[in-house]
Homo-oligomer: A and B are copies of this chain.
Amino acid sequence: MAKSALVQLDAETKVLEAPHDHKDELRLWLRLMTCNNLIEAEIRSRLRERFATTLPRFDLLAQLARAPDGMLLGELSQRMMVSAGNITGLVDRLVDSGQLHRVPLPTDRRAQVVKLTPAGRREFRKMAQEHEKWIATFFEGLSPDEIEVLLAGLSKLKLSVRAVVADRRPLTARGYPRPRGQTSVVR
């Protein structure tokens, strides 16, 4: 057997049978997770120390801050990528602490809209301002170019993951793929 043929065969074998060991992908996933966890842990810690609040509470307020007319619990569930049952409890606690209030919908007695109270809006604005500065410092070791590159790469990754997930879990007629429990992976 000629060498070129052998090489050819090897190349094909490689692609077909041992497509590579996926070690880089695994490393990339671990690194992504580490970065995420590092930043998230620090944000949680600062939210706690500075504002005596938590990340899920902050995230929920952030969603509502962009929705002057309020949001349905179901919308919150989708946007935040958490289950509906979780939202119920979170909203309960935020109502207790005076940052939110529930508004019944006259058109649909199953549903209800949640809105920020004036206090809630005021408090969120303060937190968001500091939060944005924190984020900036976390990235201060990267140049604007490097940030661009990461943005682009993660954008592509997002599409890649979504394609794989959607493939396994096809959309329903109305566009919500959830198997149960209402959690959507939209963002």
Contact = CB atoms under 8 A, between A and B. Distances in A.
Interface string A89-125: 0000000000000000000000000000000000000
Interface stretch (A6-14, A70-78, A146-154): A146-154
Identify the interface centre among A41, A157, A183: most chain B CB within 10 Å of its CB.
Answer: A157
B162 A38 contact: yes
B29 A39 contact: yes
24 contacts: A22-B132, A22-B133, A24-B144, A24-B148, A25-B136, A25-B147, A28-B151, A28-B154, A31-B154, A33-B40, A34-B187, A37-B187, A39-B161, A137-B164, A138-B157, A138-B160, A138-B164, A139-B157, A139-B160, A140-B164, A141-B156, A141-B157, A141-B159, A150-B157
A26 B164 contact: no
Interface of A: 20, 22, 24-29, 31-42, 81, 132-133, 135-142, 144, 146-151, 153-165, 183, 185, 187
A147 B32 contact: no
B147 A150 contact: no
A159 B35 CA distance: 9
